[in-house]
Amino acid sequence: MFGRSLGSGVAVQLAAQRPLAGAILVAPFDSLVAVAKRHYPFLPVDWMLRHRFDSVALAPKMKAPLLCIVASHDDIIPPEHAKRLFDAWGGPKRWVGLDGAGHNSTDGVSNYWPSIAGFLTEKSL
């Protein structure tokens, strides 16, 4: 399973409902509410968001291996949101930091594709 940014929330929701061999999450977040509160502290985002994508609540139940790829300079989903999800993940996990990358420049960093290829090869997905 692969999810990037908002798609990581969808991927975790789906993964919680079916078995999977592994998960690759790029620029993931703990919950959409937490990210929204960070950007819009003056709005009642708790009431406004219909789809909360509370991935951190589901993470402890996840037993599949996780590859978590995070941009060091992500100003849309700052790394601390990914770290909360990573720390809560119940299965084996690997953190890959992309130094100098922003939210929309992850795939241009030299260790992005090799990290994904290595994870897929290692896990025989």
Whether 125 has a pLDDT exceeding 60, the answer reads: no
12-48 confidence digits (pLDDT tens): 999 999 999 999 999 999 999 999 999 999 999 888 8
Domain boundaries defined on the chain: 2-123
* Cα–Cα distance measured from residue 58 to residue 60, given in angstroms and rounded to the nearest whole number: 6
pLDDT tens-digit map of 54-107: 999 999 999 999 999 999 999 999 999 999 999 999 999 999 999 999 999 999
* CATH dotted code for 2-123: 3.40.50.1820
Q: What is the secondary structure of 27-84 as a DSSP string?
A: S--S-HHHHHHHH-TTS-HHHH-S----HHHHGGG--S-EEEEEETT-SSS-HHHHHH
Q: Is the pLDDT of residue 6 over 90?
A: yes
